[in-house]
Amino acid sequence: MNKSKRIDEGNIASIILREISGLADGQIRFMEVCGTHTVSIFRSGIRSLLPEGIELISGPGCPVCVTPVGEIDRAIALAQLKDVTLLTFGDLMSVPGTSSSLNQERAMGRDIRVITSPLDSLEIALKEKKRRIVFFAVGFETTSPAIAAAVKEAKRKRIDNLFLLSSQRLIPPAIRALLSPRKVKIDGFILPGHVSVIIGRTPYSFIASEFSLMGVITGFEALDILKGIYMLLCQKKEGRSEIEIQYTRAVKEEGNQLALKAMEEVFEPVGARWRGLGMILESGLTLREEFKEMDASLVFDIPYEDKKDPPGCICGKILQGLKSPPDCPLFDKRCTPENPVGPCMVSSEGSCAAFRKYGAFR
Amino acid sequence: MKEGKILLAHGAGGKLSHDLIKELFLPFLENELLSCLDDSAIIPTERSRLAFTTDSYVVKPLFFPGGDIGRLSICGTVNDLAMAGARPLGISTSFILEEGFSKEDLERILSSIKKAALEAGVMVVAGDTKVVEHGAAEGLFITTSGVGIVPEGVDISGSHAMPGDFVIINGPIGDHEIGILLARGEFSLKGEIKSDCAPLNGLVKAILNACTDIHVLRDPTRGGLATVLWEIANSSKVGVIVEEEKITVREEVRGVCDLLGFDPFYLANEGKLVAFVPQKEAEKVFEAMKADPLGRDSVIVGRVVDENPGKVLLKTRIGGHRLLEPLSGEQFPRIC
Ligand code: SF4
C-alpha cells in the first residue's frame, strides 16, 4: 500500500465510524470467532473507536487456545519417544501441558520442530527415513485442505514414516454448541474470513434460521471489520437476521469446492473436545479408513486422557465469551506472555495475549 | 540455584532477555556502571568520559544482501558507542572459528571488516582467534568490543527522555531481519531485501553538531522499535505516543510481514536509530538528519508525554489507540 492509500484508510474509517455512531442504539454485542479478527481488532484499536453501546467479545476462534490440555500432553508424550520427531506450528510450542510444554521438552533435547506448511512434513520424512515423523496438526478449516494435500501426497509417495496427530476442528459446530443452550448474550457474529473462503456461506445458515441471529463474513483489514460491524448494525436496524458476506473479494457462496473435496477425501468428521466447550459432536476431523495407517492416535500406544485445565485459568470461560481476560485473577500477574499459565496467553491469537499486548482501551 | 533451562527466546532481545539479565546476571555483576543497561557503559576518567561496549555476532547465514557477519560486527559495536554519543576510538575483534572453515570465506569477511571500519573511521586495534572442533561452533562467531570518547556536554541515556521530546527515526524499519530471513531461505520465500546494516556514528555526529542536548539515542536492533521505545519509556518513567502512519515500512518488508503474520515493530534493524530530542531543537536536528546520507528518510514519529508513564501508545492508521509492548518470547534466533 502506498502512502496516499493509507491516508485514505484513515478517512474512510472515520466515514464508516460516523455511520456506525448513527446506527448505534442501546447495548449490542457481537462475537468474533476467529483469532485473526481478534488480533486485527486490537491491533487497529477498533475497540477504542466504537461508540459506548457496541461491545465486541471473542469466541472460540483461536485454534491453539481451544486445544485441550489432554491433547498437548499426548503430543508431549509422543515427542518423548526416542525415534520420534514431532512437527508442529509455532504457537503450540509454549502452551503449557500438565507438567511441561513442547518448548521445555525441546530444551531438554527432544526432537521437536516448528514447521510453517504441512508440506514441510513430507520433506522431513523423506530426508530422515530412520525417524518416525509425527505432525501434530492443530487448526480450523483454513489449514485442513493443505494438511489433506500433504496426507495424500505422503500416500502417493509411499512415505511410511510420517504420521498425523490430528487436532483439527470445525467452526460451525462450535458456534452451534455456543448457542445451545445459550449462556451468553450475543446479538450477532463477525464470521471468520479465512475459514469461510473454504466453506462458503451455507454452513452458517442455521445461525439465522434456527437462532434468529445475524452474521457477517468479514475480512481482516481494519476497514473490513468496521464495515462488517456496520452491516450487522444495518441488519439490526432493519430487523433482519441473515448471514451476509462483507469479504466478497475472497469468499464465494459455495466456498472453495476443490479444497472441500480434498478435505473430504482424506478426513471425516468426528467428535472433538474443545477447551471450555467440552465434547462437541462432529466438530473434529479424523483420517478416513484408507489413510488410517498414518493416524498417530492409532499407531502409537499413547491413549488420550482427559486432563484438568491449569488451576486458576479461566480460558475455558473466556473462549465461550462468558468472561473477559481482565476477569482472570492471574491475568498479568502470575500469567504473562513470558510465563503463560493458559493457552489464551500463549497464542498470538489468544484473547489474553491480545488484551495484554495491545491494552484494553475499552 | 535457579531452575530451568536457557531457551532460544532468552536471546531474542525482548522481555525474556531482560528478565534473564535482571534475574541472573545483575545479582552477580551489578555495579553502578553496568546497571544503567544502556548500549554502552560510560566510564568517567580524570580527563574525559569513555564509552565501552561489547557484543557477539552469531548471524546465520554469514553472508547476506547488504552485508555479512564481518560488517555487522563492526557496525553493531560502532553503533552501540554512537548511541552514547561517543566518537569510536578503537575496536577489538575476537574470532571463534570452526575447524574446517574455508580460508576464502574468512578472507571475504576480513576484507569486509576492513571496509566497514574505514567507513566508520575506526581502527581495529586488538584481536584474538580460537579454533574449536568441528560441530562446536557453526562456521564462525565474532565478538567485538569498542571504546569511544563522549564529547563534552553530551549526556545521552535511555533514562533521559523528557515530556515534550520529539521522537525521530532515520528511515523505514524491518529491513535487516526480513533480509536475513529471506537470505536464509526460511519459508521458501523468494526475493531479496538488503539489510540496512551501516555504521551510524556519522549520522550521530551530524545530530550532535546540530544540538548537543540530545536526550536519548537508541538503535532498534533485536526486539525492534517497539521494544526499544518501551525500554526508554520505562527507564525514563514517561509515556510515549507514536503514530503508525508516520512509521515507514518498505513495501516488500510489509508484504512478508502480512504473509507470515509478523509485526514490523518487532523486527531488528542494524542501521536505524531513534532520537529523543527536546521540542525546541527538533526542527534543527531533523534537518541535520535529512542532510546526512543515512538520515535522508528521517521522520518525526511521535512525542513524549507525562501521561501513562512506562507505556508506549500507538495511534493506529484508522485513528484508534493501542499499546506497543516489548517483544515477548521468541522471534528468530541468530539474526545478528
Ligand atoms: S490470564 Fe492466563 S490464566 Fe487467566 S485465563 Fe488467560 S491464559 Fe488463563
Task: Name chain A contacts of B19, Cβ cutoff 8 Å.
Answer: 338
pLDDT, residue B258, reads 82
Of B263, B311, B321, the CB nearest to A48: B321
Q: What is the mean pLDDT of chain B?
A: 93
Burial class (CB in 10 A: 0-12, 13-18, 19+), B197: buried
pLDDT, residue A1, reads 44
A 220-239 → B contacts, CB under 8 A: 222-223, 226
Query: How far away is chain B from the Cα of A117, in angstroms, using its nearest Cα?
Result: 8
A46 contacts chain B (CB < 8 A): yes
**For chain B, how many structural domains are there in total?**
2
Query: How far away is chain A from the Cα of B204, in angstroms, using its nearest Cα?
Result: 28
Q: Whose CA is nearest to atom 7 of ligand 1?
A: A342
Which residue of B18, B257, B322 is the best one to mutate when testing the A interface, meaning the one whose CB has the most A CBs within 10 A? B322
Q: Which residue of A has its CA nearest to B20?
A: A338
Are residue B319 and residue B172 in the same domain, yes or no?
yes
**Domain's final residue, options B123, B150, B177:** B150
B118 in any annotated domain: yes
Of B245, B314, B328, the CB nearest to A10: B245
B220 in any annotated domain: yes
Which residue of A7, A8, A43, A142 is the best one to mutate when testing the B interface, meaning the one whose CB has the most B CBs within 10 A? A43
CB contact under 8 A, A9 and B317: yes
DSSP state of B246: G
Nearest atom (ligand 1) to Cα of A343: 7
B205 in any annotated domain: yes
A151 contacts chain B (CB < 8 A): no
pLDDT, residue B30, reads 93
The residue range of the domain holding B128 is 8-150
B156 in any annotated domain: no
B12 in any annotated domain: yes
Are residue B133 and residue B189 in the same domain, yes or no?
no
Q: B242: domain CATH number? A: 3.90.650.10
CA distance A144 to A262: 9
Are residue B224 and residue B269 in the same domain, yes or no?
yes
B36 in any annotated domain: yes
Q: Are A116 and A147 in contact (CB under 8 A)?
A: no
Are residue B171 and residue B235 in the same domain, yes or no?
yes
pLDDT, residue B293, reads 97
Nearest atom (ligand 1) to Cα of A342: 7
Tens of pLDDT, residues B228-272: 999 999 999 999 999 999 999 999 999 998 888 788 999 999 999
Of A14, A43, A356, the CB nearest to B319: A14
pLDDT, residue A91, reads 85
B208 in any annotated domain: yes
Are residue B89 and residue B175 in the same domain, yes or no?
no
CA distance B135 to B138: 6
What is the maximum alpha-carbon separation in chain A? 65
B 165-204 → A contacts, CB under 8 A: 187-188
Q: Angle CA(B283)–CA(B287)–CA(B291) in degrees, nearest 5?
A: 170
Are residue B182 and residue B318 in the same domain, yes or no?
yes
CA distance B256 to B249: 11
Classify strands A54-58 and A28-32 as parallel, antiparallel or unpaired: parallel
Are residue B231 and residue B304 in the same domain, yes or no?
yes
For a substitution probing ligand 1, which of A69, A318, A339 has the most ligand atoms within 8 Å of its CB? A318
CA distance B248 to A21: 31
- pLDDT exceeds 80 at position B149: yes
Are residue B132 and residue B12 in the same domain, yes or no?
yes
Q: Angle CA(A95)–CA(A101)–CA(A106) in degrees, nearest 5?
A: 125
Tens of pLDDT, residues B150-206: 999 999 999 999 999 999 999 999 999 999 999 988 776 777 899 999 999 999 999
Rounded distance from Cα A338 to ligand 1 centre (Å)? 12
Identify the CATH homologous superfamily for domain A50-185+248-362: HypD, alpha/beta domain 2 (3.40.50.11740)
Q: Which residue of B has its CA nearest to A340?
A: B329
Percent above pLDDT 70 for chain B: 98
pTM: 0.84
Q: B129: domain CATH number? A: 3.30.1330.10
Residue position matching grid coordinates 570452526: B98
Are residue B237 and residue B290 in the same domain, yes or no?
yes
CA distance B217 to B210: 14
pLDDT in tens, chain A (362 residues): 444 555 588 999 999 999 999 999 899 999 999 999 999 999 999 999 999 999 999 999 999 999 999 999 999 999 999 999 999 998 899 899 999 999 999 999 999 999 989 999 999 999 999 999 999 999 999 999 999 999 999 999 999 999 999 999 999 999 999 998 888 899 999 999 999 999 999 999 999 999 999 999 999 999 999 999 999 999 999 999 999 999 999 999 999 999 999 999 999 999 999 999 999 999 999 999 999 999 999 999 998 999 999 999 999 999 999 999 999 999 999 999 888 999 999 988 999 999 999 998 76
Element (H, E) at A274: strand A267-274
- Which ranges constitute the DSSP H helices of A80-168? 102-107, 120-127, 144-156
Are residue B109 and residue B237 in the same domain, yes or no?
no
Are residue B16 and residue B84 in the same domain, yes or no?
yes
Q: What are phi and psi of B208, to 5 degrees?
A: -70, -30
B122 in any annotated domain: yes
Are residue B142 and residue B177 in the same domain, yes or no?
no
Q: What residues have CB less than 8 Å from B163, skipping those under 6 apart?
A: B238, B239, B304, B305, B306
